Amino acid sequence: QVQLVESGGGLVQAGESLRLSCAASGSIFRINEMGWYRQAPGKQRELVATITTGGSTNYADSVKGRFTISRDNTRKTVYLQMNSLKPEDTAVYYCNVGGTTSYIRDFSTWGQGTQVTVSS
């Protein structure tokens, strides 16, 4: 009932930037927290950044000062601006959106993932 479509991944060199987008659609009554997570090969999925409805943000220590999460509530979209990328940022990035459907049921949905590869 809730779908997420991610875009913006790719291959870049160290020091360059990328911007990820994740758009939610479907039977959505309200969106609460939105976030980005990543999973590198052989590692567990980890939190990158989250943002609340009111705009409060939380970042992993490894990305503080380099990544910026933002959201457009009208477009039901969350963004991740990634600057000064490092090879260790290479991973599949997933967005996660939580909220309430039009049927008044809570949801927490994951995007399909987008590959970010940073070469040295």
Per-residue pLDDT of 47-102, as tens digits, reads 999 999 999 999 999 999 999 999 999 999 999 999 999 999 999 999 999 999 99
CA geometry: angle 84, 89, 95, nearest 5 deg: 105
**Gap between the Cα atoms of 48 and 33, Å rounded:** 13
Mean pLDDT of the chain: 97
Question: What burial letters (b/e) apply to 31-54, b meaning 16+ CB within 10 Å?
Answer: bebbbbbbeeeeeeeeebbbbeee
| Mean pLDDT, residues 3-23 taken together | 97
pLDDT tier for residue 1 given thresholds of 50, 70 and 90: confident
**Gap between the Cα atoms of 92 and 74, Å rounded:** 26
pLDDT tier for residue 104 given thresholds of 50, 70 and 90: confident
Q: Is 104 left (phi over 0), alpha (psi -120 to 50) or beta?
A: left
Sheet holding 77-82, edge to edge: 2-7, 18-26, 77-82, 67-72
- Asked if 40 and 21 touch (Cβ cutoff 8 Å), the reply is no
